[in-house]
């Protein structure tokens, strides 16, 4: 490696560290200002709480053994909804691509279901599936599945038709074209679908927990609202932000691995 390359990599590493430190500083200043303004009375700490109260709430939840129970419940539901959404969305996208007539028939219904406020279906879901984890996962699937189907299917459609004609000229069948060209050519779209899926799954799970769950971070937020414990509500929201950040970065790591191996 030349000196110029080493210098370039060193500068890039220093820049990444600098950006990370600035981001951490912004977060730290945000919580500091929140605490100071709440203590001075400029912010109503009953409504918006404050970092010291939130930290004490987290410690109380840890001591009672409830924190990890709620986090694990939500994570389990998110991962199930995420996995089902990707698998079913991928399979449906393949069917729509391979059978254009089906795509033309289903397209308006996909748009209709996607535009429908899913929370309106909550009572119906509870009646059909029961007041349990199934209802939460179905709610999350309703939110993430249609988006996955549309995103992956549109990615398939963007494949260069000249390349498809070239493979057909070499007598490749439709499955060879699909797995050797269409899917590899759509890796970036599939990764984008993963990013959307993880956030939509988390949103769907929280909405489901608002309606029916007796465990999970969504339940924690709703319970805090019902008993006017706003510190508990803010604790649930902050933990959700942290989980969302971790899951999103996990998908980014998967993206790097897939691109490196392509």
What's the mean pLDDT in 88-93?
Answer: 92
pLDDT grade for 211, boundaries at 50, 70 and 90: confident
CATH topology of domain 50-261: MetI-like fold (1.10.3720)
Domain positions in the chain are: 1-43, 50-261
How many C-beta atoms surround the C-beta of residue 88 within 10 A?
Answer: 15
pLDDT at 56: 93
Confidence of residue 261 (pLDDT cuts 50, 70, 90): low
In this predicted structure, what is the pLDDT of residue 82? 92
Taking residues 187-194, report their average pLDDT: 84
Confidence (pLDDT) at 239: 93
- What pLDDT sits at residue 83? 92
- Here the tokens at position 170 are 């070499």
| pLDDT score of 145 more than 70 | yes
Confidence of residue 262 (pLDDT cuts 50, 70, 90): low
The pLDDT of residue 31: 93
CA 162 to chain CA centroid, Å, is 35
> pLDDT digits over 29-56, tens only?
999 999 999 998 888 888 888 999 999 9
Q: Please state the length of the chain.
A: 262
Of 17-21, 63-67, 157-161, 192-196, highest mean pLDDT? 17-21
Task: Please give the residue that has the higher pLDDT: either 260 or 147.
Answer: 147
Q: How far is CA 6 from the centre of its chain?
A: 37
State the pTM of this model.
0.86
Note the pLDDT of residue 112: 85
pLDDT in tens, 66-85: 889 999 999 999 999 999 99
Give the per-residue pLDDT at 84.
93
- For position 76, what pLDDT does the model report? 93
Task: Inform me whether the pLDDT recorded for 1 exceeds 80.
Answer: no
Q: What is the mean pLDDT of the chain?
A: 88
Range 233-251 average pLDDT:
90
What percent of the chain is modeled with pLDDT above 90? Answer: 39
């Amino acid at each position: 490696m030349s000196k110029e390359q080493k210098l370039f990599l060193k500068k890039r590493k220093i820049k990444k560290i600098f950006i990370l430190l600035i981001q951490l500083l912004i977060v730290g200043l945000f919580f500091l200002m929140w605490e100071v303004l709440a203590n001075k009375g400029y912010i109503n700490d009953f409504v918006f709480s404050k970092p010291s109260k939130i930290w004490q709430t987290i410690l109380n939840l840890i001591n009672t053994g409830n924190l990890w129970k709620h986090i694990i419940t939500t994570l389990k539901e998110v991962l199930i909804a995420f996995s089902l959404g990707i698998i079913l969305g991928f399979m449906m996208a393949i069917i729509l691509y391979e059978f254009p007539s089906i795509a033309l028939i289903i397209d308006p219904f996909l748009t209709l279901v996607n535009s429908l406020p899913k929370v309106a279906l909550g009572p119906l879901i509870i009646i059909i599936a029961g007041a349990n984890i199934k209802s939460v996962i179905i709610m999350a699937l309703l939110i993430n599945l249609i988006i996955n189907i549309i995103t992956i299917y549109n990615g398939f459609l963007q494949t260069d038709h000249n390349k498809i004609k070239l493979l057909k000229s070499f007598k490749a069948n439709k499955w060879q074209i699909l797995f050797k060209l269409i899917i590899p050519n759509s890796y970036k779209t599939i990764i984008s679908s993963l990013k959307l899926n993880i956030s939509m799954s988390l949103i769907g799970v929280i909405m489901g927990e608002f309606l029916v769950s007796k465990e999970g971070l969504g339940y924690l937020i709703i319970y805090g609202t019902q008993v006017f414990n706003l510190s508990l509500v803010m604790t649930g929201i902050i933990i959700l932000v942290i989980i969302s950040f971790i899951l999103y970065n996990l998908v980014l790591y998967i993206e790097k691995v897939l691109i490196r191996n392509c």
